[in-house]
Amino acid sequence: MQNGLLNAICKSISGGVQDFPRHHLPILCAAGLGAAIASWIWWRRTRWELRQVGTVSQLLIYPIKSCRPVSVQEAECLELGLRNGKLGDRHWLVVTEDGHMVTGRQEPRIVLINVSRLGDSLCLDTPGMEKITVAVSQPNTNKVLDCRVFGTDIQGRDCGDEVSQWLTSYFKSSQPYRLVHFEPGVMKPRKSNEKEKMFRDKDIIAYPDASPVMLLSESSLDELNKRLEKPVTIGNFRPCIVVSGCEAFAEDGWDDVEVGTTRLKRVMACGRCLLTTVDPDTGIMSRKDPLETLRTFRQSDPSLSYLYKTAPLFGQYYGVEQTGKLRVGDPIFVKVRKG
């Protein structure tokens, strides 16, 4: 009987409590079910370890999609991505009157618009224009617009005529542009897998292209700049988390990341587009580098062409596994299998 019980306990530890023979359960309870479960949990956990791979060097939040970022020292990482106070990443969007998104692909000079916090307002500032403030919380009487982001429907609360006129004047547009705000808890977010099928059903976003979080290392940027006649900056690639202290493209293999109290799950690489060729200092789109150079050494494996097509890969997309907080200076850990 003792040998049979011992074998059953060993089996439960290696295969899970669900594998424990039912007729031994009363005996196991008497022998100490808690101890057996604790041993099984210990065995499962000790198969993995956390290894530091880098350090957070920048946290960047882009309140208005395609405008300049706000650099912060700390942020919450929520299901919808990074947030600092009332500033959520890409929670504001410039749209046409019929709700279609306007980004740096359509209006490259949008990258020159500075966005900062001023009390409970956003302050928009760009060369040749007077500053304008927009209240973060818009009145419920403001119209809710039906918008389209990469062919997906999403709502946004209109931010008023004054900022609409400011944007229309800045872009010298023949049609009015408007600014809308996504209201978490009120409006339904987009699902990341509606843009990229590799994402999980639980991965959600407001106005980002596809992912709640995009991560890029400084060393990867350095490696790219070695190949360019004119170096580019992080501003060409618009990541949320920038990492230092690792080898170039090490982030390609960081599947399970822990930083601060946040856990992230790598989903896929970021396939790059023409937006990377917009100079963040001039607002001019070259349609050439750094995209052309990336294509010479950062193409996907041919077996993944159905996913990335001809887009070169630079930076990694993550889903949020566990919400939490993170700070500049936090170590980046990756879960790796022992042995």
Confidence (pLDDT) at 337:
87
Assigned token pair, 178: 């408007």
Separation between Cα atoms, residue 133 and residue 137, nearest integer Å: 12
Give the model confidence (pLDDT) of 178-192 as tens digits: 999 999 999 999 999
pLDDT for residue 338? 85
Longest dimension (CA), the chain: 87
Examine the pLDDT at 17 and tell me if it is beyond 80: no
Q: Is 91 in contact with 207 (CB distance < 8 Å)?
A: yes
Alpha-carbon distance 289 to 77, whole Å? Answer: 32
Q: Assess contact for 46 and 53: CB atoms under 8 A.
A: no
> At residue 314, does pLDDT exceed 80?
yes
Boundaries of CATH 2.40.33 in the chain?
Answer: 50-60+197-337
Q: Please state the rounded mean pLDDT for residues 307-319.
A: 97
User: How high is the pLDDT of residue 44?
Assistant: 57
The percentage of the chain sitting over the pLDDT mark of 70, rounded to a whole number, equals 86
Name residues whose C-beta falls within 8 Å of residue 113's C-beta, 6 or more positions apart in sequence. 64, 67, 68, 124, 125, 126, 170
Q: What is the pLDDT of residue 284?
A: 98
Tokens matching residue 271: 């396939």
The pLDDT of 4-33, averaged and rounded, is 50
Per-residue pLDDT tens over the stretch 68-110: 999 999 999 999 999 999 999 999 999 999 999 999 999 999 9
Q: What is the pLDDT of residues 255-302, one digit of tens each?
A: 999 999 999 999 999 999 999 999 999 999 999 999 999 999 999 999
Kindly report, residue by residue over 26-51, the tens digit of the pLDDT. 544 555 666 666 655 655 566 889 99
Three-state SS annotation for 74-98: EEEEECCEEEECCEECCCEEEEECC
Distance CA 3, CA 11 (A): 12
What does the radius of gyration of the chain's CA atoms come to, in whole angstroms?
Answer: 24
Q: Which two tokens stand for residue 185?
A: 């808890």
Return d(Cα 296, Cα 287) in angstroms, integer.
15
pLDDT of residue 36: 60
Fold type of domain 50-60+197-337: M1 Pyruvate Kinase; Domain 3 (2.40.33)
Place of tokens 């980046």: 332
Q: How many CB atoms sit inside 10 A of residue 268's CB?
A: 21
Which residues make Cβ contacts (< 8 Å) with residue 251, sequence separation at least 6? 215, 216, 217, 220, 243, 315, 316
Residue for token digits 């899970």? 16
